């Protein structure tokens, strides 16, 4: 990831690189960068230092470990941490650097290495505005998709962690529902087109399903890193006392993949795992259902997926609200990265306008019950969708079948002790 981002800086800036992997350094030097033999050399030479490392422990070592950056950094310099790290660790690092007059920003990225290589990566950033103004030209060299989270260091990393958690929940849910449809004879290609266009549209329907149809990869992000992000998201929820049942299930799938496939497992392996877990092969969808049956099945799958997308969005927004984030800003970042869904877009509009979604909790429960019946009849595992059904069944008993699915927010407010309403300008 760091090498892909450096590629965009080299034509516009004097760039120096340092890495534990000499091949990574050589690749950047070949493009025009200079090599630093040590981290202190890099710290003395550069006004802005970007760190793009696996986890916060690596950042701490690079900054404050033996032969690290910090002793050579002087007042006025800026450190930009693009690691998907722990927000509280990053805040601690920022406090230590501030004692030297050094400013820190956190600016994690979303979208994977292919997006970084294409110059379309999503950058979330938080920290002092003056430092952001200085670094913004470099960010713009990397991508046009830059989203400030707040002036509190660490908030962007919290957003990134929650973004990846949502992505995993939607991936698992979408794949198991697609498997259920294929087991009944639906062909994956037309099903994918319908899901993308409908209320169930999300990042997985838009990117992962088309890749499966075309038998290509969408970037094999390592599951060990996804597991780290999933654990951090659940830790945030626990610290805020916000229940995250769907996130916990998705984390379990991530962990299971690592146990089954090994530590080198990547996100592409999740597609294979879900087919095995569901007893289905996507390539074997016959497409021999009648047009009427296809339309009925697609409508049910779409409603179930939309229900899941809405539930995970409320689950994640509840954590953001508990952390004091601006929900509109937070949601906008989600919808410009790998946590996008059409339901999340709708929720943000509903928060602003107060206009409820026309779908009711009752008809959603009917669709989810139909999914359960299909799973039993065809022997297809639907773990995530089953949990979504439990959430909507609870909402129906509490709010009534005629209540809009928008009222599901009330359940999350009660369970998380938060308010999901129009964002306060004071938090912007």
DSSP state letters, 85-154: --HHHHHHHHHHHHTTT-EEEE--EESHHHHHHHT--EEEEES-HHHHHHHHHHHHHH-SEEEEEESSTT
Q: How, if at all, do strands 16-17 and 34-35 pair?
A: parallel
Which tokens sit at 5? 């981002």
pLDDT of res. 150: 86
pTM listed for this prediction? 0.86
Helices 383-399, 291-322: crossing angle, 10 deg rounding: 70
Which of 160, 183, 228, 284 does the annotation list as catalytic? 160
pLDDT of res. 333: 86
CA dist., res. 344 & res. 248, Å (int):
20
pLDDT of res. 97: 98
214 Cβ contact partners less than 8 Å away, ≥ 6 residues apart: none
**H helical segments located in 147-282:** 155-183, 188-197, 203, 209-214, 223-240, 245-261, 267-278
3-state secondary structure of 79: strand
pLDDT of res. 427: 31
pLDDT of res. 238: 94
pLDDT of res. 85: 84
Q: For this structure, is 160 an active site residue?
A: yes
Contact of 179 with 274, CB cutoff 8 Å: yes
pLDDT of res. 329: 84
Which tokens sit at 267? 């996100």
The tens-digit pLDDT sequence of the chain (428 residues) is 899 999 999 999 999 999 999 999 999 999 999 999 999 999 999 999 999 998 899 999 999 999 999 999 999 999 999 998 888 899 999 999 999 999 999 999 887 787 889 999 889 999 999 999 999 999 999 999 999 988 999 999 999 899 999 999 999 999 999 999 999 999 999 999 999 999 999 999 999 999 999 999 887 788 998 998 999 999 999 999 999 999 999 999 999 999 999 988 998 999 999 999 999 999 877 778 888 999 999 999 999 999 999 999 999 999 999 988 888 888 888 888 889 999 999 999 998 788 899 999 999 999 999 999 999 999 999 999 999 999 999 999 999 999 999 999 999 999 999 999 744 333 33
pLDDT of res. 100: 96
CA dist., res. 405 & res. 282, Å (int):
31
pLDDT of res. 381: 93
pLDDT of res. 424: 38
pLDDT of res. 222: 87
Ramachandran bin of 219, using left for φ above 0, alpha for ψ from -120 to 50, beta for the remaining angles? left
CA dist., res. 269 & res. 283, Å (int):
16
3-state secondary structure of 404: strand
């Amino acid at each position: 990831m760091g090498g892909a981002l450096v590629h965009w800086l080299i034509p516009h800036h004097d760039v120096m690189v340092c890495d534990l992997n000499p091949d990574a350094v050589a690749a950047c030097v070949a493009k025009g960068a200079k090599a630093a033999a040590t981290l202190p050399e890099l710290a003395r030479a550069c006004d802005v230092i970007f760190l793009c490392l696996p986890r916060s422990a690596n950042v701490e070592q690079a900054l404050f470990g033996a032969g690290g950056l910090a002793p050579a950094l002087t007042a006025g310099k800026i450190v930009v941490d693009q690691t998907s790290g722990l927000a509280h660790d990053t805040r601690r690092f920022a406090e230590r650097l501030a004692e030297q007059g050094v400013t820190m920003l956190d600016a994690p990225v979303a979208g994977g290495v292919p997006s970084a290589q294409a110059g379309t990566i999503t950058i979330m950033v938080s920290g002092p505005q003056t430092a952001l103004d200085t670094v913004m030209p470099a960010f713009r060299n990397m991508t046009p998709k830059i989203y400030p989270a707040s002036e509190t260091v660490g908030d962007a990393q919290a957003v990134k962690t929650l973004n990846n958690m949502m992505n995993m929940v939607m991936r698992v849910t979408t794949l198991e529902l697609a498997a259920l449809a294929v087991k009944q004879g639906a062909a994956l290609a037309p099903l994918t087109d319908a899901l993308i266009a409908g209320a169930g549209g999300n990042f997985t329907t838009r990117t992962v399903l088309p890749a499966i149809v075309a038998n290509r990869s969408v970037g094999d992000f390592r599951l060990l890193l996804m597991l780290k992000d999933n654990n951090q998201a659940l830790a945030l929820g626990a610290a805020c006392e916000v229940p995250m049942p769907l996130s916990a299930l998705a984390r379990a799938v991530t962990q299971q993949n690592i146990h089954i496939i090994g530590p080198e497992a990547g996100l592409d392996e999740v597609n294979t795992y879900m087919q095995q877990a569901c007893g289905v092969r996507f390539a074997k969808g016959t497409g021999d259902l009648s047009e009427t049956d296809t339309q009925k099945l697609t409508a049910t799958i779409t409603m179930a997926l939309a229900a899941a997308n809405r539930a995970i969005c409320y689950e994640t927004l509840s954590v953001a609200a508990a952390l004091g984030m601006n929900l509109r800003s937070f949601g906008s970042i989600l919808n410009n990265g790998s946590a996008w869904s059409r339901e999340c877009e709708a929720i943000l509009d509903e928060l602003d306008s107060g206009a409820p979604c026309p779908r009711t909790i009752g008809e959603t429960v009917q669709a989810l019950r139909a999914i359960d019946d299909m799973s039993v009849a065809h022997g297809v595992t639907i773990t995530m969708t089953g949990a979504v059904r439990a959430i909507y069944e609870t909402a129906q008993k509490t709010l009534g079948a005629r209540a809009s699915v928008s009222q599901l927010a009330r359940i999350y407010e009660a369970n998380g002790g938060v308010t999901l309403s129009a964002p306060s300008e004071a938090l912007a």
